[in-house]
Amino acid sequence: MQKFKAPNSKGAGQNLISAIDQERFLTIKTAFETAEQLNARLLLAIEGTGYGYWDWDIPNDIAYFSAIFRKLVGHDTAEYTVGMAALAEITHPDDLQGTIDAIQAHFEKKAPYFHEYRLKTQSGDYRWFLVMGQAVWDAEGKPIRMAGLLSDISDRKETEDLLKSSALLLKQAQELAHLGSWMFDPQTNALHWSEELYRIFEMEGTADEDLYPLYRSKIHPEDLPMLDAALQSGLAYRIEHRICCKNDQIKYVLGVGDYIRDSKTKEVKMLGFAQDITDRKVLENSKLEYQQMLELLLFTLSHKIRKPVANIHAIAEVMYSDEFQNSPMLKEYLGYLKQSNRELDAYIHELNHLLAEKKRQFM
C-alpha cells in the first residue's frame, strides 16, 4: 500500500500568499481605475456647467485649479496650479481679509462656505466670482483638504449695482418730491410702503401687521368716507385728503391709485403713490385768504365811496343850476367839483371791474 505523502506546506503557503496578493492587487487596481473614471466623469460634468474646480491640500498648501478655473480667472497656464497663495495674490485688497475670515469661519464653525469676492484677471481688471467649497477634517478636527467650485458673477453684480443705483435714485427722488409708492391687497388688507411714505405719515418703525389699521387712523375723520368710496369704486382715483399727525398738525396728501388684475388668478391688487402737498395747500389757502380779503376791501371801498360821490354829484348839479350862475368864481369851483366827481366815479367802476375779474379767476 502506497504511503500518503503530505505536500510541501512552505511552498503551498507561498503560492497562496502570492495568489491573494495578486487578487488584492487586481481589486485595488480595478477600484483605482474605477475611481479615476468616476473622477474624470465628475470633472467633465463640472466643466460642462461652466464652473471652475479647485482642490486644496491644506497642510502642504498645494492646490489644483482646473482648466476652466484658470480660464475664468484669466491665467491659463500650468504654473498657476501652485497653491492657494497664488489666489491670495490676485484677490482684491478690499476683499482679502473678508475672504480669509470666511475660510476661517468654515474651518472653525463648519459653516457653509459661499463667498463672493474680486480677483484680478490677466488683463489687470478685477472681476467678481462666487466661490463655494467644503472642507474635510481629520480625527482631531483639523481641516486637511478643501475642494469646491468657482463661477464668474460679474454680470450679475453689475446688474445688482445698477438696481441698487436705480433704487437709490428712486429713493432720493421720492424724498425730494415728498412722494412715496405703495401696494395694497384689498382681500387681505396687506399694505406695502416705500420708505418715504413712513416718513410722510410719521409711522417709522411700524410693524407690517399694524400698518393698515394705523394708516386708517391717521386719515382725517371728515375725509375717511371720501377715501373709502375711492377704494371701493374699483376705478382709478386721484383725491386730496388730510392726515392727523403729531402735535395736532394737519398734513395734506395727494393720493393716486389704480387697480391691477391678473387675468389668470383673478387676483386684484392696487398700486399707487401718495405725495405730501402740505406746502402747496398752505400756499393755496394763503392765496385764497388774500383773495377773500381783497374782495372784502374792494367791496368796502366801492360801497363806502359810492354814496358820498353820489351826494356830491347831486349837490353839484343843484349848485350848477341857473340861479347860481351869477358868481364866476363859484362856477369855476363847481367845475372842479364836477370833474373830481367824475374821476371818483370812474375809479369806483374800475374797482368793481377788478373785483369781478378776480372772482372769475378764482372760480
For 222-246, the pLDDT digits (tens) are 999 998 898 888 788 898 999 998 8
Handedness of CA 337, 343, 346, 347 (dihedral sign): negative
Give the model's confidence band at 265: pLDDT under 50 very low, under 70 low, under 90 confident, else very high.
Answer: low
pLDDT at 82: 63
Highest mean pLDDT among 60-74, 116-130, 298-312: 116-130
Give pairs for 299-305: CB < 8 Å, separation 24+: 299/355, 301/351, 302/348, 302/351, 302/352, 302/355, 305/344, 305/347, 305/348
Give the model's confidence band at 73: pLDDT under 50 very low, under 70 low, under 90 confident, else very high.
Answer: confident
**What is the rounded CA–CA span in Å between residue 31 and residue 25?**
10
308 with 293: CB under 8 angstroms? no
pLDDT: which is higher, 4 or 129? 129
What mean pLDDT do residues 313-320 have?
Answer: 65
pLDDT at 355: 67
pLDDT at 1: 39
Cut 0.75: pTM above it? no
pLDDT: which is higher, 178 or 62? 62
Q: Which of 145-159, 209-223, 305-319 bottoms out in mean pLDDT, i.e. has the lowest? A: 305-319
List beta partners, residue 263: none
